[in-house]
Amino acid sequence: MEGSTKKNVDGTTSGSDLALSGAAVEGEWAGRFAKLMTGDAGPGYSVNREENWVKLRVDKPHSGHDSTPAVFVLHRLSTALAIADGMGGRGAQHLAGTCHAALASRLALDMINDLVGRLVGLGPGPEMARIIERRLHEKLKSAWNGALCEGLGEVSPFGGTMMSNLPTTFTMAEVVRPPAVPGLPFAVNTFNCGDSRVYVLETAARGGLAALTNDDTRVPVDAFTALVDDPPLARFLTADRIQPVTFGCHILHSPCLVIACSDGFHHYFRTPMGVELLLRKAMAEAMAEPDILGAFARTLESHFEANLHDDVTAAIMVVGGPAASVFADLTLPAAEQERARQLMAEERVAADAPKTARANWERRRKADFERYKEVGS
């Protein structure tokens, strides 16, 4: 897929790849939808070496290309990694020639773009979450109503109760004051609705990989159960009704990676350990290349192209120094290599004995993987 891979270096000026200019004008929703879709960067990866982040998108063939990543500079002290993953199963009908789910994901990120530079001063985290959830719903609802007024789409009476108008998940990690040197703490604020996730990969001594958000399933489950049972979601964004966005504040320590990703990134491994193993493999291989961030993104892209079950999107920030030093800190020390060996041993067992895999998961979950539930406060 070398021909479709994007290797450009993105800037981080305020706004996203999906920005729309001008105010909404009656009768122009078809044009607005078209501009959202054509303004999308498409599949591939992009890197920003100055700000130390990577964006990745791998599309499942013949799908609606429902998800997309974005990075926003909210203000001079924080950067936000955002993912909106349109729900094709619930929004497969078409609107203005485009899948509802694909439009919903672009509309959600465009709303965050509208708030760039104005999130500061909106109040503490929970209050900000209420503002974001209201604005997200208003954006989707106004787009849906505008489309109906123009005759661009309608809900099929044969769609069933599972169908929704402009359905999408949403997750955002606001990285506040990311330190330029290792060993310093910093804050990550998370905003989440659905089953897209925010992760952190810290050192082995701090527990390795942990999920900072919980999936909005009808019955709360741990990461292993989510892989095996795939429980249905209880909440996701839609034009039909306002849905709560969950806020979390986490104190993390550099060096680390902060990852916002769609469920295609984390949901199709045999065990939850697969996510961390992939990230460790990508970092280790990248250190031998001159373009470290580009090589890191290529390894991730190659893995998902070969094991694609869903659209995959991710935005990943390297915190605590240049990528070379952070990757070295997270892979080369003896403790990091021992953790990788333990994860690989459990992964091999999981391939042969699912019951043993669950026993191993329960044991690990009571120790360092307990952090899958929450990190910091």
- Mean pLDDT for all residues in the chain: 79
3-state SS of 197-252 is EEEEECCHHHCCEEECCCCCECCCCCHHHHHHHCCCECCCECCCCCCCCEEEEEEE
Q: What is the pLDDT of residue 335?
A: 96
Q: When comparing pLDDT for 336 and 152, which is higher?
A: 336
Is the pLDDT at 55 greater than 90, yes or no? yes
Is the pLDDT at 111 greater than 70, yes or no? yes
Is the pLDDT at 104 greater than 70, yes or no? yes
pLDDT band at 221 (very low <50, low <70, confident <90, very high): confident
Arithmetic mean of pLDDT, 28-43: 72
pTM, two decimal places: 0.84
Residues 60, 259: Cα–Cα separation, whole Å: 21
Q: What is the pLDDT of residue 89?
A: 56
Is the pLDDT at 327 greater than 90, yes or no? yes
**Dihedral of CA 339/340/344/347: which sign?**
positive
Q: What is the pLDDT of residue 94?
A: 62
Arithmetic mean of pLDDT, 103-118: 83
Q: When comparing pLDDT for 316 and 24, which is higher?
A: 316
pLDDT band at 316 (very low <50, low <70, confident <90, very high): very high
Q: Is the separation of the CB atoms in 373 and 214 below 8 Å?
A: yes
pLDDT band at 21 (very low <50, low <70, confident <90, very high): very low
Residue type, position 132, single letter: I
Omega before 255 cis (within 30°)? yes
Q: When comparing pLDDT for 310 and 151, which is higher?
A: 310
Is the pLDDT at 352 greater than 50, yes or no? yes
Tokens matching residue 116? 């760039």
Arithmetic mean of pLDDT, 312-325: 95
Residues 317, 360: Cα–Cα separation, whole Å: 30
